[in-house]
Chain A
Amino acid sequence: MELYLYLALFAPLAGSLFAALFGASPKTIVAGLVPSILLFVSFVSSTILLVHILSGGAVVHVEMMTWMATGDLYIPFGFVVDQVSVTMMMVVTVVSTVVHFYSVGYMDHDKGFNRFFSYLSAFVFSMMVLVMSDNFAGLFIGWEGVGLCSWLLIGFWYHKESATWAANEAFIMNRIADLGMLIGIFLVYWNTGTLQYEQAFAAMPALEADILTLMGIFLFIGAMGKSAQFPLHTWLADAMEGPTPVSALIHAATMVTAGVYLVVRANPLYDLIPHVGIFIASLGAFVALFAASMALVNRDMKRIIAYSTLSQLGYMFVAAGLGAYWVALFHLMAHAFFKALLFLGAGNVMHAMHDELDPFKMGGLKKAMKWTFIMMTVASVALAGIYPLAGFFSKDLILEVAMIEHHYIIYSVLLFTAGLTAFYSFRLVALIFHGEERYKLFGVHPHEAYKFMLIAMSPLLILAVIAGSFKMTYFEMVTAVLPATEYHVHSALAYWIMTIGTQLFVIAAIAFAYKKYARSGITVPDGTSKMENRLCYKILSNQYYIPYVYEEYLVKPYRELSTVFWKQIDMKVVDATVDGIAGIIYGTGEKTRDMQSGNLSTMLKWMVAGTVGLLSLAVVFGLAVRYSVEIKAILSGLGV
């Protein structure tokens, strides 16, 4: 089994390095295919490992080599494939394999084709390190690795100002959060003396509650950054500047769920501090609603999906915060499939519409793009949580968890959000695929994507449909390491009322969206309509003015402060000191240059002067030795 572990882990790295060989050369199809095939190898290995774990096999735990061993600190490059990490491995490898094959078509005309695959495979490798590591240090490496690859890929079209800006924003926001995470890791090491998950979690129950709370909070700050939770959420929507496959892989399916994975992984810790869990759940519920509301009015196809991702991450954190770790992980998995599918479909639409992102300028695309239409509709249905698609099982479960744990406010918020989710998903679908063919006004001739891209997407389609049926198998598997709490509403009647009520509510939201947006007569909003001038619309479409507030009240004062520091402290103190030292040395050299006139006579004079200096030193020291006793007496008298 170790062989498969190494294969799953290092095949993406090999692919990345292979593609990197072609980094500077023009598009080579090999540079795309080889990483994709290697990723498929990684996927097959992960599947074998999954089967191994499913059939009751032992957890695969290897220690590849020692990384750091100094004193009491011992950190190996250790990897573990247990029930949790194998789930993540499956999610990562499935989605990334699909995305890789899809990208071969999507990036077809891009100049940076080879570079793209190098980055993408490097990302998968980092993600695998993140999920497979058996200690916090390895997790942190993967954490930073995915951050780096995310930065590279968001800023992939680096000649675009907005792309580089978004890449830097994402990177800096993640840095802020990573600081919190690092402090959390230090706290773990400080208090338990180890970074290995097993030993660290075993040592935690003996610690004081305050320290555990701090640990939990700081680790969660890291998770907040990576999973774009409020208030560090703004980068995720801006990250849509990257190529769409990147959005599908990194900013929907894998990297942003790393925060959830961290909380799930650290479940023994969060079990000990339920009040932090409540905070996580409340924040998650808030973000779910908050992000969904922003998605309602947005006019950028990818941003809408990004906000929906944000909202779904909120759901996962609710589950994780309430202690239903396996539910969180299950929703993570189901969400990865249909959200990646949704993004890839959006990528097809973008291609067809020549990078047009405003769904109001599309409409009626279902004729031209039949398969994309089907896929995106299925993905949206799954996202909305209609029976029997994936979203129903996972999202309803989260609602039930909130209900059973008696957090009725969270429950109602999530229920309301579910309606919003259905509305904005189908608003998007209706605007893109139904109604009049508004794109004709813009002279666009849409065409369906390459066939192999559609085939590449099909596994996700199937998984989005059937993922829900794995629920019990999955539950049995994963509860070997996670708390096995089954969530059942005790009364059958209440259960049915809840389920059917939710379903009806969601279907009503869908119907409303269709009614409002699938009709003919939709025009491209130009800022004159009554709705657009409403206050709440403005607030929502400006993302609650949060980016504006950040810009005005954080970025600008910080920049001004930096300017002050630059001009006043750096230039006048630091630089001046350094320049001064250099100036003194330079000036000394300049002045003493005359000594080196090359004239022997002058040199002889200096030689004599030096002799006099040395002789006087000899006299002084001789006297000091001779009268050392007296000198000491005088010094002690002076109090030295």
Chain B
Amino acid sequence: MFEAVAFYLFAFLTIAMFFIAVTTSQALYALTALAAGMIFISAFFFILGADFLGAVQIVVYSGAVMALYAFGMMFFDTTRDVKEKNGNKYIVIGLSVISAILVVAIFSAPIVSENITALYPMVEGAGNTQEVGLVLFTKYLVPFEVAAVMLLVAMIAGIVLAGKDMDLSLTLLDDKEIEEIKNKKMKKVL
């Protein structure tokens, strides 16, 4: 009973938050709503017994990602109202709803649910964090390391991209502009 109440409550909250995030015309509202939605999602993880995942969700999304977005927004003019697309609304909503229905149809198809067996069954008596650790550092060790490298690369890429002079693209400039930039650099060195 408690589970049902919690599920419906958080489901309503998440949907509402995300709905605001995609519909509002204020970037700041959207950011706030998204952050709230992320935290509400972690609630589902806790309900489902994936404690570690829930913790990671809060730390990564609400902490790191949202902080990054907030930081990124400082570069842009966020006070202005975001212009909406003038395209056909029905197409947008129609396509989304159809795809949603199709996904449900696939998940609820008997052929899928009948053939699933647990590859890495949960260990009885161990906490979720221990279980995750066991699986992650045995079976998924290599993907885990690859993911780590990927994050490192992404970090370096983020720093470099946001760095100086990265807005100049040599392929999009003509010879004259490239020459000017070179001269500028020469002067600085001198």
Is there an interface contact between B109 and A622, defined as CB atoms closer than 8 Å?
A: yes
Q: Choose one: B95, B105, B111, B112; the contact of A612 (CB below 8 Å).
A: B95
Q: Which residues of B contact A524 (CB under 8 A)?
A: none
Is there an interface contact between B102 and A615, defined as CB atoms closer than 8 Å?
A: yes
For residue B164, CB closer than 8 A to chain A, the reply is: no
Complex CA–CA separation, A615 to B105 (angstroms): 10
Q: Which residues of A contact B103 (CB under 8 A)?
A: 615
Is there an interface contact between B106 and A605, defined as CB atoms closer than 8 Å?
A: no
For residue A625, CB closer than 8 A to chain B, the reply is: yes
A320-363 near B? 1/0 per residue, CB < 8 Å: 00000000000000000000000000000000000000000000
For residue A469, CB closer than 8 A to chain B, the reply is: no
* Distance in Å: Cβ of B28 to nearest Cβ of chain A: 22
**Residue in B102, B105, B106, B112 whose Cβ sees the most chain A Cβ within 10 Å:** B102
Is there an interface contact between A625 and B111, defined as CB atoms closer than 8 Å?
A: yes
Q: Which of B75-132 contact A (CB under 8 A)?
A: 85, 87, 91-92, 95-96, 98-99, 102-103, 105-106, 109-112
Given A618-B106, A619-B102, A622-B106, verify A601-B85 contact (CB < 8 Å). yes
* Distance in Å: Cβ of A606 to nearest Cβ of chain B: 10
B48-87 near A? 1/0 per residue, CB < 8 Å: 0000000000000000000000000000000000000101
Is there an interface contact between B95 and A608, defined as CB atoms closer than 8 Å?
A: yes
Is there an interface contact between A612 and B91, defined as CB atoms closer than 8 Å?
A: no
* Distance in Å: Cβ of A72 to nearest Cβ of chain B: 56
Q: Choose one: B85, B92, B98, B110; the contact of A626 (CB below 8 Å).
A: B110
Q: Choose one: A601, A605, A619; the contact of B95 (CB below 8 Å).
A: A605
Is there an interface contact between A609 and B102, defined as CB atoms closer than 8 Å?
A: no
Is there an interface contact between B102 and A626, defined as CB atoms closer than 8 Å?
A: no
The closest CB in chain A to the CB of B96 belongs to: A608
Is there an interface contact between B109 and A612, defined as CB atoms closer than 8 Å?
A: no
Complex CA–CA separation, A612 to B102 (angstroms): 8
Q: Choose one: B92, B102, B112; the contact of A605 (CB below 8 Å).
A: B92
Complex CA–CA separation, A622 to B85 (angstroms): 36
Q: Which residues of B contact A616 (CB under 8 A)?
A: 102
A589-628 near B? 1/0 per residue, CB < 8 Å: 0000000000001000100110110011011001101100
The closest CB in chain B to the CB of A601 belongs to: B85
Q: Which residues of A contact B106 (CB under 8 A)?
A: 615, 618-619, 622
Complex CA–CA separation, A605 to B102 (angstroms): 17
**Residue in A611, A615, A616, A618 whose Cβ sees the most chain B Cβ within 10 Å:** A615
The closest CB in chain A to the CB of B105 belongs to: A619
Complex CA–CA separation, A626 to B112 (angstroms): 10
Q: Which residues of B contact A619 (CB under 8 A)?
A: 102, 105-106, 109
Complex CA–CA separation, A609 to B102 (angstroms): 12
The closest CB in chain A to the CB of B99 belongs to: A612
* Distance in Å: Cβ of B116 to nearest Cβ of chain A: 15
The closest CB in chain A to the CB of B91 belongs to: A605
* Distance in Å: Cβ of B112 to nearest Cβ of chain A: 8
Complex CA–CA separation, A112 to B30 (angstroms): 88
Complex CA–CA separation, A41 to B96 (angstroms): 89
Complex CA–CA separation, A611 to B106 (angstroms): 14
Q: Which residues of B contact A612 (CB under 8 A)?
A: 95, 98-99, 102
Complex CA–CA separation, A619 to B100 (angstroms): 12
Q: How many residues of B contact A (CB 8 A)?
A: 16
Given A611-B99, A615-B99, A619-B102, verify A626-B109 contact (CB < 8 Å). yes
Is there an interface contact between A626 and B111, defined as CB atoms closer than 8 Å?
A: yes
Q: Which residues of B contact A623 (CB under 8 A)?
A: 109
* Distance in Å: Cβ of B58 to nearest Cβ of chain A: 29
* Distance in Å: Cβ of A412 to nearest Cβ of chain B: 95
* Distance in Å: Cβ of B115 to nearest Cβ of chain A: 12
Q: Which of A366-403 contact B (CB under 8 A)?
A: none
Complex CA–CA separation, A612 to B111 (angstroms): 20
Is there an interface contact between A609 and B109, defined as CB atoms closer than 8 Å?
A: no
Q: Which residues of A contact B96 (CB under 8 A)?
A: 608
* Distance in Å: Cβ of B176 to nearest Cβ of chain A: 26
Q: Which residues of B contact A622 (CB under 8 A)?
A: 106, 109, 111-112
Complex CA–CA separation, A619 to B102 (angstroms): 7
Q: Which residues of A contact B109 (CB under 8 A)?
A: 619, 622-623, 626
The closest CB in chain B to the CB of A626 belongs to: B111
Q: Which residues of B contact A615 (CB under 8 A)?
A: 99, 102-103, 106
Complex CA–CA separation, A616 to B106 (angstroms): 9
Q: Which residues of B contact A618 (CB under 8 A)?
A: 102, 106
Complex CA–CA separation, A426 to B87 (angstroms): 100
* Distance in Å: Cβ of A76 to nearest Cβ of chain B: 62
Q: Which residues of B contact A609 (CB under 8 A)?
A: 95
Complex CA–CA separation, A71 to B91 (angstroms): 64
Q: Which residues of A contact B91 (CB under 8 A)?
A: 605
Complex CA–CA separation, A623 to B109 (angstroms): 8
The closest CB in chain A to the CB of B111 belongs to: A626
Q: Which residues of B contact A626 (CB under 8 A)?
A: 109-111
Q: Which residues of A contact B95 (CB under 8 A)?
A: 605, 608-609, 612
Q: Which residues of A contact B99 (CB under 8 A)?
A: 608, 611-612, 615
Complex CA–CA separation, A319 to B112 (angstroms): 90
Q: Which of A227-257 contact B (CB under 8 A)?
A: none
A77-97 near B? 1/0 per residue, CB < 8 Å: 000000000000000000000
Complex CA–CA separation, A616 to B109 (angstroms): 13
Q: Which of B143-176 contact A (CB under 8 A)?
A: none
Complex CA–CA separation, A625 to B109 (angstroms): 11
Complex CA–CA separation, A611 to B99 (angstroms): 8
* Distance in Å: Cβ of A625 to nearest Cβ of chain B: 7
**Residue in B87, B91, B98, B112 whose Cβ sees the most chain A Cβ within 10 Å:** B98
Complex CA–CA separation, A623 to B105 (angstroms): 10
Complex CA–CA separation, A619 to B91 (angstroms): 21
The closest CB in chain B to the CB of A609 belongs to: B95
Complex CA–CA separation, A351 to B110 (angstroms): 100
Complex CA–CA separation, A612 to B92 (angstroms): 12
**Residue in B91, B99, B112 whose Cβ sees the most chain A Cβ within 10 Å:** B99
* Distance in Å: Cβ of A610 to nearest Cβ of chain B: 10
A623-636 near B? 1/0 per residue, CB < 8 Å: 10110000000000
Complex CA–CA separation, A615 to B87 (angstroms): 24
**Residue in A601, A608, A612 whose Cβ sees the most chain B Cβ within 10 Å:** A612
* Distance in Å: Cβ of A115 to nearest Cβ of chain B: 53
Complex CA–CA separation, A611 to B96 (angstroms): 10
* Distance in Å: Cβ of A621 to nearest Cβ of chain B: 10
Given A615-B99, A622-B111, 18 other A-B residues pairs in contact with their CB atoms under 8 A: A605-B87, A605-B92, A605-B95, A608-B95, A608-B96, A609-B95, A612-B102, A615-B102, A615-B103, A618-B102, A618-B106, A619-B102, A619-B106, A622-B109, A622-B112, A625-B111, A626-B109, A626-B111
Q: Can you list 27 A-B contacts with CB-CB less than 8 angstroms, sorted by A residue number?
A: A601-B85, A605-B87, A605-B92, A608-B95, A608-B96, A608-B99, A609-B95, A611-B99, A612-B95, A612-B99, A612-B102, A615-B99, A615-B102, A615-B103, A616-B102, A618-B102, A618-B106, A619-B102, A619-B106, A619-B109, A622-B106, A622-B112, A623-B109, A625-B111, A626-B109, A626-B110, A626-B111
A residues near B, CB below 8 A?
601, 605, 608-609, 611-612, 615-616, 618-619, 622-623, 625-626
Counting from the closest, the 6 A-B pairs by CB-CB distance are A615-B102, A612-B99, A608-B95, A626-B111, A619-B105, A612-B98
